[in-house]
Chains A and B, each alone.
Chain A
Amino acid sequence: MAYHDLRSYLDLLVSEGQLLRLTDPVLPEPDIGAAACAVNKLGATAPALLFENIKGYTNATVVMNVHGSWCNHALMLGMPKNTPLKEQFHEFVRRYEAYPGKVEERDSAPWQEVVLEKDINLFDILPLFRLNHGDGGFYIDKAVTVSRDITDWENPNTQNVGLYHLQVKGPTRIGIQPVPAHDIAIHLRRAEELGKDLPVAICIGNDPLISTVGSMPILYDQSEYKMAGALAQEPYPVVRTQSTGLQVPWGSEIVLEGRILSRVREGEGPFGEFTGHYSGARRMPVIEITRVSHRKNPLFEHLYLGMPWTEIDYLMGVNTCAPLHVQLKSAFPEIQAVNALYTHGLVVIVSTKRRFGGFAKAVGTRILSTPHGLGYAKLVIVVDETIDPFNLPQVMWALSTKFNPEFDLVTVPGLSVLPLDPASQPAGITHKLVIDATTPLAPENHGHYSQELGNPVGTELWLERLHTMVSSGDLK
């Protein structure tokens, strides 16, 4: 069963022991950011945090770290919370391949309870706060922003639903970061070529799946709502906004409607990013908000990001692996699994069978030309099918023993990467590297691999037996 709004998912987290209520008073800064940073240090079973007593507010509720553990990720998929990561990955891929799922258009939504069209002050409406000390202001960092191509307005498939960081600069003024490789940048370019504003709806406080899909590198003409339906294995509910006509999640807590001002750029940032570095300041587009709708006593959902690992690494981990896996496997059925968990796939590890010598290098360079590879995949490591790419000790073993720099490096100069990569020079351009850490196959003949170790006969049976003995308490 899927969760159609944040509240029902939080109820599940409570029943599974995955939500911590904080009822003692906290300051907006630095307490909420510090607590949300700290909770990630509890490891892969960390709970979500619900702040119910924020100094200065009468009824604000802030929820952080909703996606911030593999337990919460498994629960989002309706799986037991201790499901191993690799199982979650393969289940995610299975549902991804069922695209398109169904979308259910509804007439009304709970977020229509309160509507404001005059005297809007976002700082009065939202419990905004600074997350990291160097941030240039107060941000909305976990909303999904919905937009369409104004030259293809009726096409539901190219409607985009994406997570972009948003700096709230004034009562109705928001700065947005549309990285050029992102789909909203395509919509903005088409509108700006015509000198027109781009209508947008910003939806805060959502069911966990749409945040996952909104940060997922799916194809330009794939619908995020149909993808959410596929992942949920049931129709995904949406409602049209009154002023823009865009489809937004039925379950959102808060919906801000407005438009990106055509051909306007204004100072924005810095903002602490998922790269573990601040974004720096840039001149970026500006949104003017004209209408605000929200539930009574809305939940303000926010996300801590900073030095990995943080919530965002859980949010856009498996959802980055799955599309790359499917896109790569459609070209090369030998692909076993793709690990793009690290920094949204700036590093990608691919496990594959090989057809012939040189095959692994072809697989590695193919990653670079996937849609996501245009902005990421700076380093691609290709390993044998016997290596689990999610098991880093195994990957390190392959690098240690299969890789010879004389034969196994492919450097591709001057490719695109997201400008937030602090190593890029100029920002947005980098060399990329493929490391072939597979066993050479004819006609490749370098190295000496005829005597690779196998496990002694009976190891598998012993493993099972020892598991049973350990779990039945024989250690006492």
Chain B
Amino acid sequence: MSEPLICPRCESDKTGVLTRSPVAGVWEVYHCEECFFAWRSTEPDFITDPAKYNPEFKLNRTELEQVSVMPTVPPLIYRHDKT
């Protein structure tokens, strides 16, 4: 089983192994530190292969930083009570 080099979704190389199968050698789960995508080595190639990943669902870090915020962050207020 080879280490993944790039994220299938955003194609970043900042990826790592999250976990390995309790039964040795069956699968590994990887994640992308840039776009938070996670995938398993045994998934279909249209999930694991950057070239085959559905273009409608491709998403990179820059795009992810521009999507809407939900819920919005409220203004800070000062309270007199102990909380």
Residues in B whose Cβ lies below 8 Å from that of A266: 36
Chain A nearest CB, measured from B23 CB (Å): 5
Determine if B68 is an interface residue (Cβ-Cβ < 8 Å). yes
Residues in B whose Cβ lies below 8 Å from that of A133: 44, 46-47, 54
Cross-chain contact B67 with A283 (CB below 8 angstroms): yes
Residues in A whose Cβ lies below 8 Å from that of B76: 193-195
Determine if A170 is an interface residue (Cβ-Cβ < 8 Å). yes
Cα–Cα distance between A56 and B65 once the two chains are bound (Å): 35
Cross-chain contact B40 with A130 (CB below 8 angstroms): yes
Determine if A23 is an interface residue (Cβ-Cβ < 8 Å). no
Q: Which of A171-179, A350-358, A445-453 contacts B (4 or more CB under 8 A)?
A: A171-179
Q: Count B-side interface residues using an 8 Å CB cutoff.
A: 42
Residues in A whose Cβ lies below 8 Å from that of B27: 28, 55-56
Determine if A347 is an interface residue (Cβ-Cβ < 8 Å). no
Cross-chain contact B68 with A427 (CB below 8 angstroms): yes
Cα–Cα distance between A168 and B39 once the two chains are bound (Å): 12
Determine if A282 is an interface residue (Cβ-Cβ < 8 Å). yes
In the complex with contacts A29-B43, A267-B35, A123-B18 CB distance below 8 A: yes
Cross-chain contact A130 with B75 (CB below 8 angstroms): no
Residues in B whose Cβ lies below 8 Å from that of A188: 71
Chain B nearest CB, measured from A62 CB (Å): 14
Residues in B whose Cβ lies below 8 Å from that of A136: 9, 35-38, 59
In terms of DSSP, what is the predominant structure of the interface of chain B? loop
Residues in A whose Cβ lies below 8 Å from that of B63: 281
Cross-chain contact A265 with B73 (CB below 8 angstroms): yes
Cross-chain contact B18 with A170 (CB below 8 angstroms): yes
Cross-chain contact B68 with A185 (CB below 8 angstroms): no
Cross-chain contact B38 with A137 (CB below 8 angstroms): yes
Cα–Cα distance between A245 and B80 once the two chains are bound (Å): 24
Determine if A58 is an interface residue (Cβ-Cβ < 8 Å). yes
In the complex with contacts A57-B23, A194-B76, A267-B64, A169-B71 CB distance below 8 A: no
A-B contact pairs, 13 of them (CB 8 A): A28-B40, A56-B26, A121-B18, A130-B43, A133-B54, A136-B59, A137-B36, A151-B79, A263-B73, A267-B35, A278-B57, A280-B67, A284-B69
Contact of B26 among A30, A55, A168, A169 (CB under 8 A): A55
Residues in A whose Cβ lies below 8 Å from that of B35: 136, 267
Residues in B whose Cβ lies below 8 Å from that of A28: 27, 40, 42
Determine if A406 is an interface residue (Cβ-Cβ < 8 Å). no
Residues in A whose Cβ lies below 8 Å from that of B44: 29-30, 133
Residues in A whose Cβ lies below 8 Å from that of B22: 56-58
Cα–Cα distance between A452 and B56 once the two chains are bound (Å): 52
Cα–Cα distance between A171 and B23 once the two chains are bound (Å): 19
Interface residue ranges of A128-154 to B (CB < 8 Å): 128-130, 133-134, 136-138, 150-151, 153
Residues in A whose Cβ lies below 8 Å from that of B21: 55-57
Residue of A with least CB distance to B25: A56
Residue of A with least CB distance to B35: A267
Cross-chain contact B77 with A134 (CB below 8 angstroms): no
Residues in B whose Cβ lies below 8 Å from that of A56: 21-23, 26-27, 42
Residues in B whose Cβ lies below 8 Å from that of A27: 42
Chain B nearest CB, measured from A41 CB (Å): 21
Cross-chain contact A29 with B36 (CB below 8 angstroms): no
Cα–Cα distance between A267 and B62 once the two chains are bound (Å): 10
Residue of A with least CB distance to B63: A281
Chain A nearest CB, measured from B49 CB (Å): 13
Residue of B with least CB distance to A419: B70
Determine if A464 is an interface residue (Cβ-Cβ < 8 Å). no
Residue of B with least CB distance to A175: B36
Determine if A124 is an interface residue (Cβ-Cβ < 8 Å). yes
Residue of A with least CB distance to B46: A133
Determine if A268 is an interface residue (Cβ-Cβ < 8 Å). yes
Residue of B with least CB distance to A428: B70
Residues in A whose Cβ lies below 8 Å from that of B61: 267
In the complex with contacts A169-B31, A178-B71, A185-B71, A194-B83 CB distance below 8 A: yes
Contact of B31 among A170, A185, A192, A285 (CB under 8 A): A170
Determine if B3 is an interface residue (Cβ-Cβ < 8 Å). no
Determine if A100 is an interface residue (Cβ-Cβ < 8 Å). no
Residues in B whose Cβ lies below 8 Å from that of A295: none
Cross-chain contact B74 with A192 (CB below 8 angstroms): yes
Residue of A with least CB distance to B19: A123
Cα–Cα distance between A177 and B67 once the two chains are bound (Å): 14
Residues in A whose Cβ lies below 8 Å from that of B64: 267, 281, 283
Determine if A189 is an interface residue (Cβ-Cβ < 8 Å). yes
Cross-chain contact A58 with B23 (CB below 8 angstroms): yes
Residue of A with least CB distance to B17: A123
